[in-house]
C-alpha cells in the first residue's frame, strides 16, 4: 500500500523542481503561470457556504439538479450509488493514487495537484449498468485541486456532466486530474464545462484508456477562467475502440487558453479524433496543440485532428498546431487547421438580405460552433453550452457567470439541423418532469 504522506512530499518536491513552461510555443506571447502553494486558507464553514450559495443560485436559475457538489473541503450530494468522495488518508485514496495514470514527475501541474489535493471523486459504473451524473465543482477563493477517477465497467454506459463554476474574488486555481478507464464495450460521454470567473486558473489533465470496442466522447467547453491550461491524453487502446474529443473555446477579455491534447490509436481498427473550434476576441490568446499518434501495429486505425479558429477582431491570437506521428502503414490519417477572421463575403451576403452587421456576425459565430455543439449527445450539456456561448457573444464578450437556459437564448433553437432535435427533446423531458 502506498504511503500517502510520502506521495505528497514527493509531489511537492517535483513541483518545486520542475520548470514551469518550457515549450517553444511561448516565445511570442507567454502564458505566465506561477502558482504558489499558500499556507493560509479560509475556514471550512465559509468555503462550504460559498459552494452552497453557488449551487442554490445555479439550481434556481437553470433548473439543473446536481448529483453532487464538490468544494474544497468535501462535497454535498443528493446521492448516487455510482459515485463517492474519497478522502486523503483513507485506504481507497492510496489505492487510487497507486493506480493513477498520472505521474507527478511528468508535469509540474500534475505534481501541484498531487501535492495539494486531499480528495478524489470516484465514479465507478459497475459492469452492465448505466449512470447519468451531474457534478458541480465550486470553489471559493481557495484552490480546488481534485482527482476524478472514472471507471466504466464492461458493457456499461456513463453520461457525465461536469460544471466548473468557481467565481472567486481572488486569484486561485481549479485543478483536476481526470483518469478515465473503459471496459470492453463500455461507452461514455463526458461533458466538461469551464465557466469559472476570471480570477480562476484552470489546470486540467485528462488521461483515458479504453478496452476493446469501448467508446469515449469528451466535449470540453471553455468559456470562463482567466487562464486555462490542459494537457490531455486519450488512448484508443482496445481493438475497435473509439475516442472522440471536441474542444470548444470562446475567448475574450485577455483570456488565455493553452490546450495540448494527444489522441492515440494504439490498437487495430481503432478510431481517434480531435476537433478544436476556438473563437477569440479582445486580446484573447489561444494555443491549440492537437497531436495524433498511431502506434506501430494499429492496422486499420483511423485518425483525425481538425483545428479551426475564428478571430473576431485583430487583437486576438490563435495558434493552432496540429501534428501527427504515424508508426503504421495501413491507416487513414488526416488533419486540418484553419484560422481566419470573419469572412467579408459571407458578411456581405448576409447583410445584403437586410440582416444587420451585428446579427450577421452572431449568425456566423453560432454557425462556426454548430458542428461541435450538435455533436454533443446530452441534451442538458448541449443546451448549457449553447446558452453560455450565446450569452457571452451577445454580452460583447463579458464572462457569463450563470446563464439563463431560455429557448430564445439559443439561436440553435430554431435551426433545423439534426442535432437540434435533442435540444427540444431535453426541454420536453424537463417540462414533463416539472
Q: Which residues make up the interface to another protein (CB under 8 A)?
A: 343-357, 359-360, 363-364, 366-371, 411, 414-418
Residue 33 to residue 115: CA distance in whole angstroms? 17
CA atoms within 13 A on the CB side of 153: 10
Q: 359 to each of 159, 204, 351, 385, 400, how far by Cα in Å?
A: 34, 34, 9, 20, 20
Residue 284 to residue 70: CA distance in whole angstroms? 29
- Name the minimum Å distance from CB 424 to another protein: 13
- Name the minimum Å distance from CB 354 to another protein: 4
- Name the minimum Å distance from CB 385 to another protein: 14
User: 40 or 408: whose CB is closer to another protein?
Assistant: 408
User: 117 or 370: whose CB is closer to another protein?
Assistant: 370
- Name the minimum Å distance from CB 46 to another protein: 45
User: 12 or 355: whose CB is closer to another protein?
Assistant: 355
Q: How do 187-194 and 285-294 pair as beta strands?
A: unpaired
The residue written with cell numbers 496543440 in the block is: 289
- Name the minimum Å distance from CB 141 to another protein: 39
Residue 117 to residue 72: CA distance in whole angstroms? 9
User: 65 or 359: whose CB is closer to another protein?
Assistant: 359
Sign of CA dihedral 399, 172, 221, 64: negative
User: 323 or 356: whose CB is closer to another protein?
Assistant: 356
User: 243 or 277: whose CB is closer to another protein?
Assistant: 277
Extract the C-alpha cell encoding 276.
Answer: 478544436
User: Which residues, in sequence order, are CB contacts of 354 under 8 Å at separation 6+?
Assistant: none
Instruction: Count CB neighbours of 84 within 10 A.
Output: 16
- Name the minimum Å distance from CB 408 to another protein: 11
Amino acid at each position: 500500500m502506498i504511503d500517502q504522506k510520502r506521495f505528497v512530499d514527493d509531489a511537492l518536491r517535483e513541483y518545486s523542481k520542475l520548470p514551469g513552461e518550457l515549450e517553444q510555443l511561448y516565445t511570442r506571447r507567454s502564458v505566465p503561470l506561477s502558482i504558489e502553494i499558500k499556507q493560509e486558507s479560509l475556514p471550512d464553514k465559509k468555503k462550504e457556504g460559498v459552494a452552497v450559495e453557488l449551487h442554490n443560485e445555479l439550481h434556481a436559475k437553470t433548473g439543473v439538479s446536481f448529483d453532487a457538489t464538490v468544494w474544497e473541503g468535501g462535497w454535498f450530494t443528493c446521492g448516487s450509488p455510482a459515485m463517492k468522495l474519497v478522502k486523503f488518508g483513507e485506504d481507497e485514496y492510496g489505492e487510487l493514487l497507486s493506480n493513477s495514470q498520472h505521474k507527478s514527475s511528468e508535469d509540474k501541474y500534475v505534481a501541484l495537484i498531487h501535492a495539494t489535493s486531499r480528495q478524489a471523486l470516484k465514479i465507478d459504473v459497475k459492469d452492465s449498468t448505466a449512470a447519468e451524473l451531474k457534478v458541480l465543482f465550486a470553489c471559493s477563493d481557495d484552490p480546488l485541486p481534485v482527482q476524478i477517477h472514472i471507471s466504466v465497467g464492461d458493457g456499461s454506459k456513463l453520461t457525465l456532466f461536469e460544471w466548473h463554476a468557481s467565481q472567486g474574488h481572488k486569484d486561485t486555481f481549479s485543478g483536476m486530474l481526470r483518469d478515465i478507464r473503459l471496459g470492453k464495450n463500455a461507452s461514455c460521454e463526458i461533458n466538461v464545462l469551464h465557466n469559472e470567473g476570471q480570477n480562476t486558473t484552470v489546470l486540467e489533465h485528462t488521461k483515458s484508456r479504453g478496452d476493446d470496442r469501448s467508446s469515449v466522447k469528451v466535449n470540453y467547453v471553455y468559456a470562463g477562467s482567466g487562464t486555462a491550461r490542459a494537457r490531455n491524453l486519450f488512448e484508443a487502446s482496445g481493438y475497435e475502440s473509439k475516442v472522440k474529443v471536441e474542444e470548444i473555446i470562446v475567448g475574450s477579455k485577455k483570456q488565455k487558453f493553452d490546450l495540448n491534447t494527444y489522441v492515440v490509436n494504439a490498437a487495430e481498427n481503432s478510431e481517434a479524433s480531435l476537433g478544436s473550434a476556438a473563437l477569440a476576441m479582445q486580446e484573447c490568446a489561444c494555443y491549440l496543440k492537437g497531436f495524433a499518434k498511431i502506434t506501430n501495429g494499429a492496422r486499420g486505425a483511423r485518425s483525425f485532428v481538425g483545428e479551426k479558429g475564428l478571430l473576431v477582431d485583430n487583437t486576438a491570437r490563435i495558434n493552432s498546431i496540429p501534428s501527427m506521428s504515424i508508426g503504421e502503414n495501413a491507416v487513414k490519417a488526416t488533419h486540418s487547421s484553419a484560422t481566419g477572421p470573419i469572412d467579408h463575403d459571407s458578411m456581405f451576403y448576409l447583410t445584403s438580405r437586410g440582416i444587420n452587421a451585428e446579427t450577421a456576425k452572431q449568425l456566423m459565430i453560432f454557425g462556426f460552433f454548430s458542428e461541435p455543439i450538435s455533436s454533443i449527445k446530452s441534451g442538458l450539456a448541449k443546451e448549457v453550452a449553447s446558452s453560455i456561448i450565446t450569452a457571452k457573444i451577445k454580452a460583447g464578450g463579458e464572462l457569463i457567470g450563470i446563464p439563463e437556459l431560455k429557448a430564445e437564448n439559443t439561436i440553435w433553437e430554431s435551426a433545423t439541423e439534426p442535432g437540434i432535435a435533442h435540444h427540444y427533446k431535453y426541454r420536453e423531458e424537463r417540462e414533463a418532469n416539472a
